[in-house]
Structures are given as structure tokens and as C-alpha cells.
Amino acid sequence: MKLSKIQLSRKNLEGRWHYLVLVFLLIVSLLLPSPAWADGSFFLSPHVATYEVGSSFTMNLVMGTGGQAINAGQASITYPTDLLEVVSVSRSGSIFTLWPVEPAASGGQISFAGGVPNPGYTGNGGLITSVRFKAKAIGTATVRVSSGQLLLNDGSGTNILTGYGTATYTITEVAPTPTQPTPTEPTPPKPEEKPVVEKPLAPVIYSDSHPEEGVWYSNNNPEFIWDKLSGVTDFSFSFDDQPTTIPDGISEGSDNFYQYFGTKDGIWYFHAKAKNEAGWSETKHFKVQIDITPPLDFDIVFIGETVTKNQTPNIVFETIDETSGLNRYDILVDGRLADSLSARDKKLLYTLYRLYYGTHNIVVRAVDNAGNSTEAAVNFEIVKFYPGTGFRIGSIYLLYSWVLMAQSILIFLIILLLIIVLLRKRQPPEENQVKKQIKKIKEKTKKPKVG
């Protein structure tokens, strides 16, 4: 089927779109060099929320640069079209001022590519675009940043994006409107009262780097994001090792994202509260457990000599982890995982399964509750015969003790044979005399012949 000129033009534009975006990002990233490198992240706010069918709400895409200057970025955001409908996509208030690809929605995907002139942007919680959704049907809608880039202002266009944001929105049915009884008598209109503004709820805190509060992580750069409700103008937050700290009430700004770097091992708490025109909310706390240090070094003790005839040898090992604690020991025999022991067993003596003759390498890997590990190794050889006890002829191994025994038997047989030969050659005198007498008797008893 032939394509019209309009269809051909549209296909050509679609083919050039990705090329133009990449060219733009490369040109912008080369404007000014910066000497450092750090992680960057996209975040969707609110992170978790519940809405009724038919209602509309706004989702913001924000970013954090990890303390470094970026000057360009692009991303694609996916959403379920059966549950959500995009009403509008806005770049009002965005930190980007250059737009080779305007933010737009099509077929369940929102795409953009933008940039900012020198000296670039550095910060956390920088707004990129706002999307107005309408809830279409009951269900759980997952919106996620499926792909993207954040390019450093370093002259090379280094991509530092490592965090892709995700948001979950629960769509519920519309609550029934209570029916009002018809008044029997008309009531005079009441004067309109000014609504009373209440203090905001404590912000709900999330962490993409340390999502579960009771789990240890080998990551000492925790990042936090929290919900920003309507009317909230400021946040106050702090980070320490105390579970109930209240932030000082000094505003840290209106951004709802922050990341700490180089945190020491241990249990830490992030505290945040929000402010509107009525005042400060209660404080919300979020715990993170950090351990980037592996278990202590240790040795494997091989029971007996490392050259042995025992095909089920024993080894002894033990270590500790000072922060998150040991989780397990992995036993590797000749490069293959042979067993995994829980650290709760406290079993120091381990018997290896029946091994073949030859040289073997045993590695014990101690793993802590954050996934850090330390390894120890030992080599040994299993033999049929100990070295120096014999010699090999082809594929046959002969013990020296066997050879000595064979030599002894051979010498004994030779001596016995010589004795027999000597005995046969020597006739005793008595035996010869008896034989002569018997011969004479036989001659006398012979009768003379008659002529």
C-alpha cells in the first residue's frame, strides 16, 4: 500500500527525533567543564497517593544532581492508559529553559528533552515538568521513569543518571454523596465562614536507596523523598543516630528531596516536618541501616596434613562482622558452591564431602547481613599413598614395602631350591652298602640251567 506524502513526512520526523535529541544534549553538555562526577536521580511526587475515579491530580517530575552541575537531560515516563488520562503537561516553573523536545504525552508515554545555560543547575528537588492526570478507572496505576539521561556540565556530557523514579497511585470508586433531607421550612442563609486552615500532616518519607527500614544496605549515600501536600511552603529536616529527634524548625526550603554522602556504618534516622500558613506539622522519622565494611579477615585451619589419604577431611573457620552481623558462610570446592551454612549454627568444624584423589582448593566466603563478604582459602592434596613410600611404573604404584617382601620371598625360594639339589646329589654310605648286599642275594638265588 502506498503511503501519502503526509505519512512519509511523519515517519521521517519520527526517525530524526532521537538523533536531534542526542545532538542537542551533546552540544549543551560541552558548554562548560566541571571537574567532578556524582550520581543523579529523577523522582516523581507524590510518590504514593489515593484518588477517586473522575478526580484530577498533579504529578511533578523533580531531579537531584548529587551536588554537581548538570546542563541537559531527557526522559520518558510511562503510565497505564486504562487507568490514567493526561489532561495537560506543563513546563511552568521548570529549571530547564531550553526545550528541543517540549514535554508531551502520547500513547501512554510522556517524553521531553531540555537544558539550561551555563553554569548549569546544581541542587535537589529541581522541578522539570508537571503532569495533570485524570483518574479513569478503579485500580493501581504505576507511573515510572523508564529511561533517561542527566548530563554533567563537564565538557564531555557524562551521564550521571542512576535513579529512576516510580510512583504508585490507587484509584478508588467515588464515595457516595449523602442525601440531605428536604427542610420543612426554609432556613435563612448563613453567613459564609472563612475556612479554618489546619496544620499539615507529617510528611510521609520514602527512600529509593534504602526502601526497607529493617534491612541492612551496603550503600552509604542514602537519599530521601517525602510527600509535599497542597499548601505546604517549607520543610525542616535533620539526619542523626537518634530515633526521635525533632528538627529545629528552621526552613530548609520547599524541595522534597535530599541525599547524604559518605555516611558512617550504623543505624541512622531521617526526620522531617512540613509547614503551611497554620504552622509546623508533627515530625515523621525514617530509619536506615548502613554497613559497607566486610567481615573481619580470617583463616581456614585444615585438620591434619595438607597431603592426606583422607577423602573426607575437616576444616575449621570463624569470623565476625562488627556492624550488621554475619548472615552465612558459603563453602566453595574447586570454584563451585558446595554448601551454605547459616551463621546462627555456630558450627566451626566442617566436614567436606567425599573428594576425589588430587589437588583441591577450598574457599570459605563469610557474608554479612548487608551483602559484604570476606574470603579465606586453603589448598590440599588427597593421595592413595604418601610420597616417598614407593614408586610408579606406568599407571601402577608400587610400595617399597611390597618390593622388599617380594625380594624376601624370592631369596627364600632360591635357598630352598639349592638345599633340595644338594640333598639329591649326596647319597649316604649306608644306603650304598644295602644296595650291594641286595644285589648279591639276588645272584645266589638264581638256579643253574639244566644241560
- Per residue in 105-138, pLDDT (tens digit) is 999 999 999 999 999 999 888 899 999 999 999 9
The per-residue pLDDT for 396 is 66
CB within 8 A of 3, min separation 6: which ones? 11
Q: For residue range 332-366, what is the model confidence (pLDDT) as tens digits?
A: 999 999 999 998 766 678 999 889 889 999 999 99
Hey, what's the cell of 314?
A: 575437616
Per cent of the chain over pLDDT 70 is: 79
Topology of the domain comprising 11-172: Immunoglobulin-like (2.60.40)
- At 444 the three-state DSSP class reads helix
Range scoring the smallest mean pLDDT among 64-68, 141-145, 314-318: 64-68
The per-residue pLDDT for 32 is 39
The per-residue pLDDT for 84 is 95
How far is residue 312 from each of residues 269, 303, 304, 347, measured CA to CA in Å?
Answer: 49, 11, 12, 17
Q: Which CATH number fits domain 205-289: 1.10.3720.10, 2.40.10.350, 2.60.40.10, 3.20.20.450?
A: 2.60.40.10
Instruction: Record the pTM.
Output: 0.56
E strand spans, 176-254 = 205-206, 216-217, 223-226, 234-240
The per-residue pLDDT for 352 is 92
Q: Given pLDDT bands bounded at 50, 70 and 90, which one contains residue 33? A: very low
Task: Judge whether residue 89 has pLDDT over 50.
Answer: yes
Could you name the CATH architecture of 301-382?
Sandwich (2.60)
User: Across residues 79-90, what is the average pLDDT?
Assistant: 94
**Given the C-alpha cell 512519509, which residue does it identify?**
8
Please choose, from the candidates 101, 104, 106, 108, the residue with its C-alpha nearest in 3D space to the C-alpha of residue 149. Answer: 101
What is the DSSP pairing of strand 358-368 with strand 373-382? antiparallel
Domain with CATH 2.60.40.680 in the chain: 11-172
The per-residue pLDDT for 15 is 45
Alpha carbons 171 and 54: distance in angstroms, whole number: 9
Alpha carbons 347 and 237: distance in angstroms, whole number: 46
Asked if 143 contacts 166 with a C-beta cutoff of 8 angstroms, the reply is: yes
Alpha carbons 208 and 225: distance in angstroms, whole number: 8
Domain with CATH 2.60.40.10 in the chain: 205-289, 301-382
Average pLDDT over the chain reads 84
Q: For residue range 382-396, what is the model confidence (pLDDT) as tens digits?
A: 988 756 555 566 656
The per-residue pLDDT for 423 is 80
Alpha carbons 146 and 131: distance in angstroms, whole number: 16
Choice between 189 and 218, residue whose per-residue pLDDT is larger: 218
